[in-house]
Amino acid sequence: MALVSSTPMLKQARESGYGIVAFNVHSLDMLYAVVEAAAELESPVIIQTTVGTVRNLGPDSVVSSARAAAEKYKIPVALHLDHCTEFEVIVKCIRAGYTSVMIDASMYPFEENVKRTNQVMEIAKFLDINVEAELGKVGGVEDDIVVSDEDAEKAIPFECKEFIKLTGVPTLAPAIGTAHGIYSGDPDIDFERIKQIAELVDVPLVLHGGSAIPGDDVKRCVSLGMAKMNVSTELKNAYSAAIRDHFINEPDSLDPRQYLKFAKEAAKELAKSKILLVGSQGKASSTKRFIHQ
């Protein structure tokens, strides 16, 4: 099937109490690994790329590979641009065929965040495109965006309500204590805050920093309304570790089909474990029906 907007799949997930994983892919091989994992579990899935990956691969090649994978495996696949601060890159990706974009203006004061989000909403409202915005500041490192522990800030519940009223954004990523990258201890997730936000806004909420969060914590976040979970670091690490292990055992190996095969398998296994964690396995056909209503 064609690439779909992530709006209906996330809405359905939030209403039904499960989550959808959005995997950051860094190569076309990783993209296929994720879609194959989702197809084997009959799950809807979101592929996402950072601005760095868009620059590296080019938006057209990401879009054509994502389209080809969605058509081949016949599951609902959305293609999302993660953490973008530049309006021009957002427009470029939408024109290329991305079906979802994040405008990250969380580094600006509330009013400026509203203004920049509305600039993107002006375009998206004429198209079948999901828009995600962030409130508060998620800590850690994601491509060029670096937020230190001191600068990380949790989202304020009443501001979330106000933000949705002023922008109409269909998906919101409130900072609630998770961070991008691997944690030194367990993350300090503010479940009470998620609950308060979810009581005030009914749009699907997004859990950033999905790598290495203990399974029970992920399930609790999903049950509270976090309908999208972003996973980048763990996928990248699994893929890279398989290549590194191959070269430790076979330092003279020269056939990329050999080591990429192991890397793809490792990425697939990791992707499957995250899909099972949020409970979206078996939801592909009900998502398709929901999309076509």
CA nearest to 206, candidates 8, 16, 22, 15 = 22
Residue with Cβ nearer ligand 13P (51 or 260): 51
Residue with Cβ nearer ligand 13P (36 or 82): 82
Query: How crowded is residue 226: how many other Cβ atoms within 10 Å of its Cβ?
Result: 28
Residue with Cβ nearer ligand 13P (9 or 284): 9
- Residue showing tokens 């084997």: 40
Write out the catalytic residue numbers. 82
Contact by Cβ (8 Å): 246, 258: yes
- 46 bridge partner residues: 22, 78
In whole angstroms, the minimum distance from the beta carbon of 270 to ligand 13P comes to 11
What letters, b where the CB count within 10 A reaches 16 and e where it falls short, cover 54-93?
beebebeebbebbbebbeebebbbbbbbbbbbeeebbebb
- Residue showing tokens 């009959």: 42
Positions in the binding site for ligand 13P (CB under 6 A): 24, 82-83, 142, 180-181, 208-211, 230-234
φ, ψ of residue 287 in degrees (nearest 5):
-65, -40
Residue with Cβ nearer ligand 13P (21 or 284): 21
In whole angstroms, the minimum distance from the beta carbon of 286 to ligand 13P comes to 26
Residue with Cβ nearer ligand 13P (229 or 284): 229
Alpha-carbon distances of 113 from 50, 172, 227, rounded to whole Å: 19, 12, 22
- 221 bridge partner residues: none
Amino acid code (one letter) for 12? Q
